């Protein structure tokens, strides 16, 4: 049976529902329900039409080829509590839904393989799941611009893998969940520049399992490896994330020596979150708040306490990552323009394509360190955000909007600050509805720039 984590607190604050736990509620719209993990034919209802998340075990709409799938590693905080994996060549998972976009939620890591993804039996797209960070419960690919009505998404295991994958890796494909008509989700790391720490927080580099955390265990010389998470055992220590979005989730972990934290949204009443587990858990969503006002700043504050579950041996609190949801549509660095069918972003100058060394949006980003190299994104809408990176190897970019120079933004931050999928580098709203052009230009030859994605608001 699909298992659900017990919430440790629910808060109704100014119309905002705040809850915690890893089960069933990892969705942007919480539109799905779960059943037993299936290995054969589901009781298919002809496609769901409500936007939201649907788990891999929802037998109404998900079919897993019999005998080919088994449970994924239970130490990770999968959507709804479980996921399935397969290395069997030809194994399939199908999802029947009604809507104009669908997102496959799965995993990316060094053991991941290559899958074929198709809709309604159309041409298949090869999706390489290899990445150096070990990311679970992550958006793998979003397919937009489907015709209204019922569709079937098919995922097929190929048994192939990236040439950079270890020779012993099994070419795994993970199916965790599906999102229908999902909003934008930005997965921010624990050391995002908008996360302000107070007290004795330290990196998990000095404790075990750093590679199990989001973004953990990877580095590009001469940078030291990132632990992927930050922890404290001192009561009163706080971290406050400032963000703009309609929902926020705190991703953390549980363990036998973990304690109780309080969480507040916009300074509201604190909610207790008990992070104890008799066995270690990683990359699990422990707290969520939805229904927040769009286009205004919000804060999420996590405070360590001196309290713990009676069964716990300590009071450790871990911050791994944050998921911020915003309205609009995200265009990945190599997506097509729905109007023209041509690439929405064109690149001039010297670029390195498909960097997979960090927690990029849908697994990859493009980089350049050639002054004058440009990425030109053409879109239709009233607002846009540039999704890039800010850290100690990232340098300045010059921004142009519809040919108007908006100035230079310096993206350098001292280690250990690292901003990935960061949507607050440059944003502009209030544009007249219509076609526009955003240009990102490299300035320095001694540092990199990153083009990860673009978020469009007010589109057709």
pTM > 0.85 = yes
Contact 47, 96 (CB under 8 A): yes
DSSP 91-138: -EEEEEEESS-EEEEEEEBTTB-EEEEEETT---EEEE-B-SS-EEEE
At residue 79, does pLDDT exceed 60? yes
Per-residue pLDDT at 209? 61
Mean pLDDT across 191-206? 90
Decide: 109 and 131 in contact? Cβ < 8 Å.
yes
pLDDT, tens digit, 9 for 90 and up, residues 395-437: 999 999 999 999 999 999 888 888 999 888 999 999 999 999 9
Please state, in angstroms and rounded to a whole number, the distance separating the CA atoms of residues 104 and 287. Answer: 22
| Domain boundaries, given as residue ranges, for the chain | 29-182, 187-326, 329-457
Q: What is the pLDDT of residue 211?
A: 85
- CATH topology match: 187-326 vs 329-457: yes
pLDDT band, very low/low/confident/very high, at 225 (cuts 50, 70, 90): low
Say whether pLDDT at 6 is over 60. no
Count of other CB atoms within 10 angstroms of residue 94: 17
- Cα 112–115–119 angle (5° rounding)? 145
Banded model confidence at residue 210, pLDDT cuts 50, 70, 90 = confident
What percent of the chain has a predicted confidence (pLDDT) above 70?
A: 87
**Distance (Å, rounded) from C-alpha 412 to C-alpha 418?**
9
Closest CA to 132 of 403, 433, 360, 379: 360
Q: What is the residue-averaged pLDDT of the chain?
A: 89
Q: Which long-range contacts (CB under 8 A, 24 or more apart) does 160-168 make?
A: 160/113, 160/114, 161/112, 161/113, 161/114, 161/130, 162/114, 162/128, 162/130, 164/130, 165/110, 165/111, 165/112, 165/113, 165/130, 166/110, 166/111
Residue 273 sits at the vertex; the CA angle it makes with 310 and 207, to the nearest 5 degrees, is 75
d(CA 215, CA 185): 16
CATH superfamily of 329-457: Galactose-binding domain-like (2.60.120.260)
372-381 pLDDT, tens digit per residue, is: 999 999 999 9
CB 257 within 8 Å of CB 312: yes
Cα separation, 217 vs 282, in Å, equals 14
How far apart (Å, rounded) are the C-alpha atoms in residues 238 and 301? 7
Is residue 45 within 8 A of residue 32, CB to CB? The reply is no
Q: How far apart are CA 267 and CA 256, in angstroms?
A: 29
Edge-to-edge strand ranges of the sheet holding 449-451: 352-355, 365-368, 449-451
Domain 29-182 has CATH 1.10.10.60: no
Question: What topology is assigned to 187-326 in CATH?
Answer: Jelly Rolls (2.60.120)
The answer to whether residue 32 scores a pLDDT higher than 50 is no
Question: For 384, left (φ over 0), alpha (ψ -120 to 50), or beta?
Answer: beta
Evaluate whether 57 touches 105 at the Cβ level (below 8 Å).
Answer: no
């Amino acid at each position: 049976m699909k298992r659900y984590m017990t919430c440790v607190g629910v808060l109704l604050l100014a119309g905002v529902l705040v809850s915690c736990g890893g089960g069933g509620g990892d969705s942007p719209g919480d539109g799905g329900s779960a059943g037993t993990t299936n290995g054969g034919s589901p009781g298919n209802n002809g496609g769901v039409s409500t936007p939201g998340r649907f788990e891999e075990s929802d037998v109404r709409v998900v079919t897993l080829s019999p005998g080919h799938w088994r449970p994924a590693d239970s130490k990770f905080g999968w959507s709804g509590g479980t996921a399935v994996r397969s290395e069997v060549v030809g194994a399939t998972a199908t999802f029947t839904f009604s809507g104009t976009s669908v997102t496959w939620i799965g995993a990316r890591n060094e053991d991941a393989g290559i899958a074929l993804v198709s809709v309604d039996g159309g041409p298949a797209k090869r999706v390489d799941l290899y990445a150096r960070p070990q990311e679970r419960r992550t958006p793998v690919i979003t397919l937009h611009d489907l015709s209204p009505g019922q569709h079937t998404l098919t995922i097929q295991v190929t048994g192939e893998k990236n040439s950079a994958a270890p020779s012993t890796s099994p070419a795994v494909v993970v199916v965790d969940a599906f999102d229908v008509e999902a909003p934008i989700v930005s997965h921010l790391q624990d050391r995002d520049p908008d996360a302000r720490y107070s007290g004795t927080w330290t990196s998990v580099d000095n404790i075990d399992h750093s590679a199990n955390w989001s973004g953990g265990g990877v580095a590009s010389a001469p940078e030291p490896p990132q632990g992927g998470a930050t922890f404290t055992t001192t009561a009163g220590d706080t971290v406050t994330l400032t963000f703009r979005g309609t929902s926020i989730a705190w991703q953390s972990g549980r363990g036998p020596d973990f304690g109780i934290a309080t969480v507040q949204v916009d300074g509201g009443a604190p909610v207790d979150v008990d992070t104890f587990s008799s066995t270690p858990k990683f990359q699990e969503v422990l707290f969520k708040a939805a229904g927040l006002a769009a286009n205004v700043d919000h804060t999420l504050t996590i405070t360590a306490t001196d309290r713990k579950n009676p069964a716990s041996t300590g009071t450790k609190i871990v911050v791994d990552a944050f998921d911020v949801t915003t309205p609009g549509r995200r265009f990945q660095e190599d997506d097509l323009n729905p109007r023209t069918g041509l690439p929405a972003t064109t690149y001039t100058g010297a670029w390195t394509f498909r960097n997979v060394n960090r927690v990029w949006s849908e697994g990859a980003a493009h980089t350049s360190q050639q002054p004058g190299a440009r990425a030109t994104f053409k879109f239709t809408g009233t607002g846009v955000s540039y999704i890039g990176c800010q850290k100690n190897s990232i340098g300045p970019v010059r921004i142009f909007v519809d040919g108007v120079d908006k100035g230079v933004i310096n993206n350098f931050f001292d280690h250990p600050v690292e901003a990935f999928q960061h949507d607050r580098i440059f944003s502009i709203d209030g544009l007249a509805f219509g076609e526009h052009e955003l240009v990102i230009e490299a300035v320095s030859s001694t540092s990199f720039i990153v083009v990860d994605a673009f978020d469009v608001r007010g589109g057709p």
